[in-house]
Amino acid sequence: MAERAPVSTEETLVRYDNPVLVVTKRAEKVSSGIAGSSVQPCVPTEAKKETEEILNAILPPKEWEEDGQIWTQKVTINCGERGLLLLRVRDEARITMEAYQTLYCSSIAFGMRKALQSEQGKSDLMDQVAKLESERSALEKQCMELKQKTEQLERRAAELRAAEEKRHQEELNWKAS
């Protein structure tokens, strides 16, 4: 089986194993029945299996299809330090996402709180506007009443003055005659 290079040749700091052809269970049965080989596949130890699961969770294997065959390429671990570093990268990414989610939730809550406060403030201001408008109309009415009363008093005072002058004039005319 010839091994092939991955389709995309991106620059990366992560090292990958050589690509491996993915074989389905049905294809394995057919090929093992024909060849009749008695070679047992190497079963990974529990620690290696756990490391591979963690690594696959952090950086999933690359998979692509070429000539009707599915190829996969996994991240290789040459040393334990690289695995620990990748584990730290995964944990930092998870912590960062949790921080972003917390920040998002708190900003949404803050926005909702401010929107409610503005609505409450708006209704309070509308109530205050209505109160001030009714107070203004009452004061305008009172002002009109006072103007009418003033005009009435001025007319009455003018009438009294005219009557007083007339009486005074009549007295002068009576004394002079």
pLDDT tens-digit series, residues 57-87: 777 777 788 888 888 777 666 677 777 787 7
Distance between CA atoms of 109 and 54, rounded to whole angstroms?
35
H helices present in 13-79, as ranges: 25-35, 46-58
Task: Count other C-beta atoms under 10 Å from residue 70's C-beta.
Answer: 13
Query: What pLDDT does 100 receive?
Result: 97
Answering whether pTM is above 0.75, one says no
To which residue do tokens 């009486």 refer?
A: 167
| Token pair of 22 as six digits | 């993915």
| Token pair of 24 as six digits | 């389905």
| Token pair of 107 as six digits | 């900003």
Please, what is the average pLDDT of the chain?
78
Distance between CA atoms of 20 and 171, rounded to whole angstroms?
138
Strand, helix or coil for residue 67: coil
Domain ranges of the chain: 20-78, 79-177
Distance between CA atoms of 86 and 92, rounded to whole angstroms?
10
Distance between CA atoms of 143 and 150, rounded to whole angstroms?
10
Q: What is the pLDDT of residues 159-170, one digit of tens each?
A: 999 999 999 999
Report, as an integer, the average pLDDT of 92-103.
Answer: 94
DSSP class of 79: S
pLDDT at residue 41 above 50?
Answer: no
